[in-house]
């Protein structure tokens, strides 16, 4: 092992690691588990490890080279998953896209090397291969970066839930298998395959087709998110309109009460002149029983949640349900207003529907919401229940004739979105849902 040979291996390790690692990290630059200074230090350490493994692999047998190659891949993947706080399926999706592109670059670079430096091309990781790799990277990496900037980075911030990423990563994995099958299930050596221009062209079109598929996926996800946001905004407007109508009714009631107050005062004054104290007491008690100002309009300082509560309190009273509220929530939270609407709107709607199925004297709803600290919101809701419940694959189904049964699933989605937890308990008489939102800083994005 000469000094120049070590230089060749270190150069190749840097060329084959740093550009692709930068691409893979770029979409999640605001989701790193550490500062960028610490991340840079870890990348330097990873580069040293990869170089050392490459040097050792050069001096070993073919079987040991495969082991060192696997070890190198584990180090690379392990660092990537530890550096970014994100869904594993989403990380695998991006990592496989970059890996497929890296395989294409390797094939192109080897093909170019085979035509320019035919004697050196039959050896592994020569300086000529690193040079050709850098030339190919200078051509294609800027284009892929622009693609990542337009599509992949936006996809990384779309909230689609965890379930979808259990399957989406298999799409780039399938394209990876195309390349793997063509390289390792052939009678020719990998170097011979790489130096064949036909294979390079085939790999190019495979990657181009993959990018088209990824574009369709990203655009579909973006459209879904857009429609979801529109639906959430519609719900918010409906609730704000309800709150506005309630305020108008209350203002009208207040105006009438003030107008009628002088007549009541005249009546009380006449009774007082006649020393009819008992009549005054009875008159005031009757007035207080019928006055429209006895019901509160403010249950908490958070406007969106308060508007929602006002609406469902009216619904509960219309269904002859006793509702008890204990809400201590500040005006501003790290939870999106639309998520508050979805979470507590579904909980209260489900509770009212459940109470409709029990006797009138057993209809009740108890709701408690509070912030035990600056980073979390805790909620608890209990309601009357007839004991009848439908479940399929551990999911709650609606008991309505035309319902779709997504109320509880929507609650779970919002809770998990904020890295929280939800717990559901039932018995013959009551249905209880409790949970906590942990409000991560990136949840409002």
In the chain, what percentage of residues exceed pLDDT 70? 84
Alpha helices in 324-397 (DSSP H): 337-355
Element housing 324 (H / E): strand 322-328
Sign of the Cα torsion 354, 356, 362, 367 reads positive
Three-class secondary structure of residue 387 per DSSP:
coil
Q: Is 258 exposed, middle or buried (0-12, 13-18, 19+ CB in 10 A)?
A: exposed
How confident is the model at residue 264, as a pLDDT? 77
How confident is the model at residue 185, as a pLDDT? 63
**Among 283, 154, 139, 267, residue whose Cα is nearest residue 204:** 139
Over residues 16-55, the pLDDT tens digits come to: 999 999 999 999 988 899 898 999 999 999 999 988 888 8
Task: Report the distance separating Cα 23 and Cα 271, nearest Å.
Answer: 86
**Among 167, 166, 171, residue whose Cα is nearest residue 214:** 171
How confident is the model at residue 235, as a pLDDT? 67
Backbone phi and psi for residue 329, each to the nearest 5 degrees, phi listed first: -135, 130
Task: Look at residue 83 and tell me whether its pLDDT is greater than 70.
Answer: yes
End-to-end CA distance of the chain: 52
∠ Cα 391 317 256 (to 5°): 150
Over residues 291-347, the pLDDT tens digits come to: 544 555 678 888 778 878 888 888 898 899 999 999 988 878 888 887 888 889 889
Query: Do β-strands 430-437 and 364-373 pair in parallel, antiparallel, or remain unpaired?
Result: unpaired
Alpha helices in 148-196 (DSSP H): 153-156, 165-168, 170-184, 190-194
Element housing 263 (H / E): helix 197-273
Task: Look at residue 394 and tell me whether its pLDDT is greater than 60.
Answer: no
How confident is the model at residue 145, as a pLDDT? 95
Name the residue ranges covered by the structural domains of the chain: 3-219, 298-444
Joined tokens for residue 338: 């639309």
Mean pLDDT of 135-142: 94
Sign of the Cα torsion 396, 400, 405, 408 reads negative
∠ Cα 290 294 300 (to 5°): 160
Task: Look at residue 111 and tell me whether its pLDDT is greater than 50.
Answer: yes
How confident is the model at residue 189, as a pLDDT? 60
The fold adopted by the segment(s) 298-444 is Heat Shock Protein 90 (3.30.565)
Mean pLDDT estimate for the chain: 82
**Among 443, 436, 441, residue whose Cα is nearest residue 417:** 443
Task: Look at residue 404 and tell me whether its pLDDT is greater than 50.
Answer: no
**Does the predicted model carry a pTM greater than 0.85?**
no
Confidence of residue 226 (pLDDT cuts 50, 70, 90): confident
């Amino acid at each position: 092992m000469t000094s120049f040979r070590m230089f060749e291996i270190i150069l190749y390790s840097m060329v084959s690691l740093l550009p692709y690692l930068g691409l893979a990290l770029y979409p999640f630059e605001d989701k790193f588990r550490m500062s960028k200074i610490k991340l840079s230090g870890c990348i330097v350490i990873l580069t040293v490890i990869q170089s050392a493994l490459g040097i050792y692999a050069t001096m070993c047998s073919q079987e040991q080279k495969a082991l060192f190659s696997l070890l190198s891949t584990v180090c690379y993947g392990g660092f990537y998953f530890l550096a970014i706080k994100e869904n594993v399926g989403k990380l695998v999706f991006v990592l496989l896209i970059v890996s497929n592109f890296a395989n294409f670059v390797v094939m192109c670079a080897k093909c170019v090397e085979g035509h320019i430096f035919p004697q050196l091309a039959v050896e592994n990781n020569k300086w000529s291969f690193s040079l050709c790799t850098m030339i190919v990277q200078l051509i294609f990496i800027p284009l892929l970066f622009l693609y990542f900037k337009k599509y992949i980075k936006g996809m990384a911030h779309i909230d689609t839930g965890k379930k979808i990423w259990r399957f989406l990563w298999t799409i780039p994995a399938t394209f990876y298998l195309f390349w793997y099958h063509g390289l390792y299930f052939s009678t020719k050596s990998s170097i011979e395959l790489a130096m064949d221009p036909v294979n390079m062209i085939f790999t190019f079109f495979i990657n181009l087709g993959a990018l088209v598929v990824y574009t369709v996926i990203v655009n579909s996800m973006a459209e879904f998110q857009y429609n979801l946001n529109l639906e959430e905004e519609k719900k918010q407007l409906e609730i704000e309109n309800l709150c506005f109508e309630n305020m108008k009714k209350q203002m009208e009631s207040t105006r009438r009460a003030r107008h009628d107050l002088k007549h009541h005062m005249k009546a009380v004054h006449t009774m007082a002149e006649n020393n009819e104290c008992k009549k005054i007491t009875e008159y005031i008690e009757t007035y207080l029983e019928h006055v429209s100002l006895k019901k509160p309009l403010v249950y908490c300082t958070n406007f969106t949640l308060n508007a929602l509560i006002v609406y469902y309190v009216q619904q509960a009273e219309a269904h002859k349900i006793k509702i008890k509220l204990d809400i201590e929530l500040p005006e501003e939270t790290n939870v999106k207003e639309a998520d508050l609407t979805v979470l507590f709107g579904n909980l209260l709607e489900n509770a009212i529907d459940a109470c409709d199925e029990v006797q009138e004297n057993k209809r009740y709803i108890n709701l408690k919401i509070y912030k035990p600290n600056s980073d979390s919101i805790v909620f608890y809701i209990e309601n009357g229940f007839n004991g009848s419940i439908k479940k399929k694959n551990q999911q709650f189904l609606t008991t309505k004739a035309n319902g779709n049964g997504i109320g509880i699933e929507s609650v779970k989605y919002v809770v998990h979105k904020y890295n929280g937890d939800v717990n559901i308990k039932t018995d013959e008489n009551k249905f209880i849902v409790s949970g906590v939102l942990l409000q991560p800083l990136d949840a409002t994005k």
